[in-house]
Amino acid sequence: MKFDIFFFAALFSLGFMVVVLEFVRARKLKEQYSLLWLLIGAIMIVLALWRNLLKLLGSWLGIYYHPSLLFIAGILFSFALILHYSVTISKLHTQNVRLAQEIGILNKKIEDLNNRINGGKVSENNAAGPV
């Protein structure tokens, strides 16, 4: 086993996967968001250790400096992951808007109820100020 760039790439990927798994274990990362990361880690390890595969793929694709195939793979995966996050953010945005709308309407209802019961004497102001 040579201690070259392939070895370090594999080592880094392995450490990366351990960190991802640790985040999942500590509940800092949800399982569904960890799967893509683990997949990237696993594929990077395979590419780094199985040199003939890297060479074969490289020659198919006309890449003469084989380690650059690792970079390309890494960058493409990053793009896929970022796109995945854009989709997730869009979904969160939609939910966030609906939550704000419901909070606004609920606050109004609470206020109206308060007015009816206490004659407008408010013990606690629930309306949020602008952030």
User: From the CB of 112, what's the least distance to another protein, in Å?
Assistant: 9
Please tell me the distance from the alpha carbon of residue 113 to that of residue 39, in angstroms, as a whole number.
53
Which member of 56, 76, 97, 113 binds another protein (CB under 8 A)? 97
Which member of 68, 95, 101, 118 binds another protein (CB under 8 A)? 101
Query: Per rule CB under 8 A, is residue 100 in the interface with another protein?
Result: yes
What mask of x and - would describe binding to another protein in positions 103 to 122, judged by CB under 8 A?
xxx-xx--------------
**Main-chain dihedrals φ then ψ at residue 36, nearest 5 degrees:** -65, -40
Contacts of 1 (CB under 8 A, 6+ apart): 7
Chain contacts with another protein (rule: CB under 8 A): 97, 100-105, 107-108, 127-128, 130-131
